[in-house]
Amino acid sequence: MPYNRKGSRRERELLEKMTGEGFIVHRIAGSGHGETAICDLIAVKEGKVFFVESKSSKNIYYPSKHSDQLQELVRVAKLAKAKPILAVKLNYKDWQMFDISKKIPEKIV
């Protein structure tokens, strides 16, 4: 399966999960292409805005190869007064969400 199809499928899966948890969620189509793409999803719940970047992997995920992308997400989220979230899906596991606005990311339950 081409990488972009898997990523799109995972983004839709995350959108459905977050919607089921009471978020209003918008998926940014084509977010993996172009320099203006900031995140994969924008979610709102109880007046709080979240910019969500989703990543999917077979093994333990380490974001070093995406650090520039994540730093830009943090920067733009701060300007927009949104919370930058990294959502990670390991195969056969549930989604894990991390607030990456902190120096040491905090897992969101």
CA–CA gap between residue 93 and residue 76 (Å, rounded): 29
The yes-or-no verdict on residue 3 having pLDDT over 80 is no
Strands 106-108, 83-90: pairing is unpaired
Q: Which residue ranges form the domains of the chain, and what is each CATH number?
A: 3-108 (3.40.1350.10)
Strands 48-57, 83-90: pairing is parallel
State whether residue 3 is helix, strand or coil: helix
Please give the model's pTM, rounded to 2 decimal places.
Answer: 0.83
More confident residue, 1 or 77: 77
Amino acid at site 79: L
Report which of 57, 103, 104, 52 is spatially closest to residue 80, judged by C-alpha positions: 52
Q: Residue 1 has what pLDDT?
A: 45
The yes-or-no verdict on residue 80 having pLDDT over 50 is yes
CA–CA gap between residue 30 and residue 40 (Å, rounded): 8
Q: Residue 79 has what pLDDT?
A: 96
Highest mean pLDDT among 36-40, 57-61, 97-101: 97-101
